A and B are shown apart, each in its own frame.
Chain A
Amino acid sequence: MNTMSNVECRMSNWNLSFDPQSAIHNPQSFGLYIHIPYCLSRCHYCDFNSYRLDSDQAEQYLQALAREITVRASSDAIRHRRVCSVFFGGGTPSILLAPQLNGVLDRCRAAFTFETGAEVTLEVNPGTVDLPKLQALMEGGVTRLSVGVQAVQDRLLQRIGRAHTAHEAERAFRLMREAGFSNINLDLMFGLPGQSVDDWAETLDWAIRVGPEHLSVYGLILEEGTPLDRERRNGDIGLPDEETEAAMYRMAKDRLREAGFEHYEISNFARPGFRCRHNLVYWQHQEYLGIGAGAHSFLAGRRFSNELLPARYVSAIAGRGTAVACGEELSDEMLRAERLMLGLRLLDGLELQTFKNALGVDDLAASDRATRLLDDGFLRLQDGRVQIAERGLLVANELIVQLL
């Protein structure tokens, strides 16, 4: 259900005083990601680590989460450090009961030290919440909700396998406000099969009208092995062509900016002060700890991830307290490349020095590629930072690949 498009934006709000630099210079803080691998049904474009909810297994799973949290909190890499953001992603975390979710959060608070004002985000599917549940989550300490809306045309929602209607999405949003949530993200998608430019305009207008603090706007990517991808292989499924998709992206940029949103990351827009803290952890190359099946961590220059299957995860935790299944040590070169790849996604870009380090040059002129991309207006230098310029946003990967 609330599967995935939105997972990318596991954001918690880092509101009010946003300073992109402070986190980098504060090695004490880290992001905490908690994976809930369950959904009511699976969306046709989803390739995330998610399974149909099984209540018995979910109970065991929650116990395993609790144990992993305790074990991790006592590790050297984590002790004495502060959590700046918690993000419940999935799957559809909101299909669990409020007490279950609050229980995990309580366990986190007991085990880790939280920064003052640390944000706690929960991914929500519009069909999985009612007012009492939302109120309970609010009381439990969830400060930010991220809602998978995707589109406001029921035929499109049905087409991609979403288990809610546009009406339900709007109703859920109202309930969230009623429960007191003042930091809400909505996920929207363009480039859907059968979606017209008018459909997209309607979706954007709707979003602006309901007025969330944050919007994530994603182009549909057909990941291999998903039902939608299989359909496409078998024939035309009415995907908008590239030019239309580009126009949709431009439309989102223009309308949302006009409506007062800051475009701060390729796919993300926020009201001033509501940039997504959790995603900034990723883009700014800060460290994070992933708890749960298939969750990814980045700690002490190492990336690692847990067992994907919930059952295997549960038994690994029961056995040894951790469930790491694979990992890699990152060389300095890889770290520099990652910093470039991630940092350029932010419209603020990278500090010139960081950029030069990543390219391994002392002088920009020494990099033909960089010079050319700057000359051609795909990159720009602004206030001592290298940024992807407007015309480069949709081809960001190409730019990064050329620079790497």
Chain B
Amino acid sequence: MAINLQQIRNFSIIAHIDHGKSTLADRILEATGALAPREMEAQVLDRMDLERERGITIKAKAVRLHYKRQGAQEYILNLIDTPGHVDFSYEVSRSLSACEGALLVVDAVQGVEAQTLANVHLAMEHDLAIIPVINKIDLPNADIARVKAQIEETLAIDASEAILCSAKQGIGTEEVIEAVVKRIPPPKGSAHAPLKALIFDSSFDPYQGVIVYVRLYEGQVRPGMRILLMGTGAAFEVLQVGVFVPQMRPADLLSAGEVGYIIAGIKDVRYTRVGDTMTAEDRPTAEPLPGFKEVRPMVFAGLYPIESEQYLEFKEALEKLQLNDFSFSFEPETSVALGFGFRCGFLGLLHMEIIQERLEREFDLTLITTAPTVVYRVVKRDGTVVEVDNPSDLPTSQAIERIEEPYIKASIMAPGEYVGPIFALCQEKRGIQRGVEYMEGGRIVITYDLPLNEIVMDFYDRLKSATRGYASLDYEFVDYREGHLVKLDILVNNEQVDALSCIVPKEQSYLRGRMLVERMRELIPRQLFEVVIQAALGGKVIARDSVRPLRKNVTAKCYGGDITRKRKLLERQKEGKRRMKQVGRVEIPQEAFMAVLKVRTP
């Protein structure tokens, strides 16, 4: 039996990172009895350990909550959690489109930030009802009036009815839930129309296959039905439907307006693309939902097992991980220096770090990651175009007509006093200014077109330090543009190490080469031999430095028979070598492969 649509509310929580989204979600879960407080592990929605540790939500999740107003009818609230990081903005957009409204959480101290702005724009694009929630009002330096003014001026949202809360202290939770019921409209749509559902997430279960997270707009879905995924063209028979409470609970059917899951014996998440439309195979909907696009990895890096025997294990781990996260890609590649590994593509840097950590943690691998790079588009003299996601694959300069690199539009929000340093940084990073907006409270929004490669390098860290942490950043891909780029090679003891090559702007190449070599000298520990590090452009050495040989590493004492202590000392030294890759005779630590990211151009 279908539920009365008037009783359903589908909503998300949007916020800048660390503004308290997950904590508020926990409070709402508690208050609606989805979990007894004693069952609560802080931030239930963030299931992966990694997410809890980093305080970010990586994958969207959905929970069905029951809320009974005093003496009134019961409501079903579907809370759809969204990732809070720019790497995952497409997932955010899909999650939002599954809702009718959103809670906009703003930190009472930090105020509106770049991601708040970006998320609000997304929510507005989807015509969501937006309820401002000012969180952390218990903090001594909370400035509610200022934040309200910001919300009104910057976001053009009426803040007079903003809800004041402290998710941490449990203040205002009831008011938040009431507002969801009162201010977010119920879903529309006919249960009798052909099935039309949005896939907004999926996960992989080794026993049941892919679990598809859906929002139904029209029609119904029940076990036994055959469904068609319109984007990928794949069809499956539904085995189970249900809702998250937050555990999975099977149901007889899901109907228009509802949010839940579908299990259909799907073996691979690549069929269930986020944003795709699900319909009935025998009675398809006339038109798919708008906005489906394939998410393409933006940042690439080589991942190599330190122990070459781990290659097969590594490959299996990548395959397993991809079952859960189709947004990253991998292809086998071979490096002269590092052996057999994979070139992996990620949505962004955070995504890359997360994948690497999950590989190491969940699969017990030790990996070397090369410096991340963007995808360059190389137009060759013969007219062909190749995409290069590994600097060492760059054709020789004689064969290259031009190189194009991806540009993004960056929106930087910061207090006005930092405008100078931000301009200087963007200038240094080859940015093209698009606009400066002055906002209430002396804040500014600066828009620049920047090469994505600069973001992949140290842009964000530099921005943070240039603004004492006050700036926030959001960006989106714009297009490919020609750049004056060259390949910088690194030689270690006269042998070129392919995994250390990088593509740099020509006018900065000498400086970068010099600084890179210097940085590598600091990062490569002293060894039994002298290690000579050189930077070269097209075979011509432009910088040289060396690591002096190790002169002395010997224990004098044997600590009165305390052999354990001596052994532990050596074990520690051994452990330090675990993260190093033997290249020729030289042991190169993981950090050195990332050195290119840490090079500062003055």
Contacts and interface: CB of A to CB of B under 8 A. Distances in A.
B206 interface: no
A114 interface: no
A401 B563 contact: no
Given A242-B551, A395-B528, A8 B563 contact: no
Contact of B556 (A219, A401, A404): A219
Contact of A337 (B550, B559, B564, B567): B567
Contacts of B560: 7-8, 10, 33, 35, 48, 89, 290, 295-296
A395 B554 contact: yes
Interface residues of A, number: 51
Given A298-B561, A341-B566, A245 B552 contact: yes
B398 interface: no
B601 interface: no
Nearest to A391: B528
B563 A282 contact: yes
A243 B567 CA distance: 26
A147 to B, nearest CB: 17
Given A8-B560, A282-B558, A282-B563, A401 B552 contact: no
B566 A221 contact: no
Contacts of B556: 5, 8, 218-221, 267
A242 B553 CA distance: 10
Contacts of B574: 401, 404
Contacts of B529: 376
Contacts of A246: 551-552
A18 interface: no
B577 A218 contact: no
A179 to B, nearest CB: 26
B558 A242 contact: no
A266 B564 CA distance: 19
A97 to B, nearest CB: 23
B563 A342 contact: yes
Contacts of B561: 10, 33, 282, 288, 290, 295-298
B557 A397 contact: no
A350 interface: no
Contacts of A95: none
Given A401-B570, A404-B574, A218 B557 contact: yes
Contacts of B563: 282, 296, 298, 303, 338, 342
Given A33-B560, A372-B585, A396 B566 contact: no
B564 A242 contact: no
B238 to A, nearest CB: 53
B551 A397 contact: no
Contacts of A35: 560
A305 interface: yes
Given A296-B562, A303-B563, A401 B573 contact: yes
Contacts of A303: 563-564
Contacts of A8: 556-560
Contacts, number: 107
Interface centre among B554, B556, B570, B574 (most CB of A within 10 A): B554
A397 B526 CA distance: 13
Contacts of B566: 341
A245 B566 CA distance: 22
A279 interface: yes
B364 to A, nearest CB: 19
Contacts of A245: 551-552
B551 A394 contact: yes
B552 A219 contact: yes
B555 interface: yes
A221 B557 contact: yes
A288 B561 CA distance: 8
A264 interface: no
Given A288-B561, A296-B561, A398-B528, A266 B585 contact: no
A400 interface: yes
Contacts of B559: 7-8, 296
A378 B564 CA distance: 25
Interface string A311-351: 00000000000000000100000100110011000000000
Nearest to B561: A296
Interface in B257-278: none
B554 A266 contact: yes
Contacts of A249: 552
A391 to B, nearest CB: 9
Interface string B518-549: 00000000001100000000000000000000
Interface centre among B553, B558, B561 (most CB of A within 10 A): B561
Contacts of A221: 555-557
Contacts of B551: 242-243, 245-246, 394-395
B106 to A, nearest CB: 45
A219 B594 CA distance: 36
Contacts of B558: 8, 279, 282-283
B572 to A, nearest CB: 9
A290 B564 CA distance: 14
B389 to A, nearest CB: 32
A397 B564 contact: no
A338 B551 CA distance: 24
A398 B555 CA distance: 10
Interface string A227-253: 000000000000000110110010000
B418 to A, nearest CB: 36
A397 B567 contact: no
Contacts of A40: none
Contacts of A89: 560
Contacts of B555: 221, 396-397
Nearest to A279: B558
A105 interface: no
Interface in A208-233: 218-221
Interface in A351-404: 372, 376, 378, 393-402, 404
A4 interface: yes
Contacts of B562: 296, 305
A221 B560 CA distance: 15
B554 A219 contact: yes
Interface in B378-423: none
Given A8-B558, A8-B560, A401-B577, A395 B567 contact: no
A400 B555 CA distance: 11
Nearest to B549: A395
Given A337-B567, A342-B563, A398 B557 contact: no
B463 to A, nearest CB: 34
A303 B565 CA distance: 11
Contacts of A394: 551-554
B557 A5 contact: yes
Nearest to A48: B560
Nearest to A281: B561
Contacts of A397: 553-555, 569-570, 573
A401 B550 CA distance: 14
Interface string A1-21: 000110110100000000000
A7 B566 CA distance: 14
A376 B555 CA distance: 22
A339 to B, nearest CB: 11
Contacts of B554: 219, 266, 393-397
A285 to B, nearest CB: 9
Interface string A289-316: 0100001111000010100000000000
Interface string A129-147: 0000000000000000000
Nearest to B562: A296
26 contacts: A4-B557, A5-B556, A7-B557, A7-B559, A8-B558, A33-B560, A35-B560, A218-B557, A219-B556, A220-B556, A221-B557, A246-B552, A249-B552, A279-B558, A282-B558, A283-B558, A290-B561, A295-B561, A296-B559, A297-B561, A338-B567, A393-B554, A394-B551, A394-B552, A396-B555, A398-B550
Given A290-B560, A401-B574, 4 more contacts: A4-B557, A282-B558, A295-B561, A394-B553
Smallest CB-CB A-B distances: 4 pairs = A8-B557, A218-B556, A296-B561, A397-B553
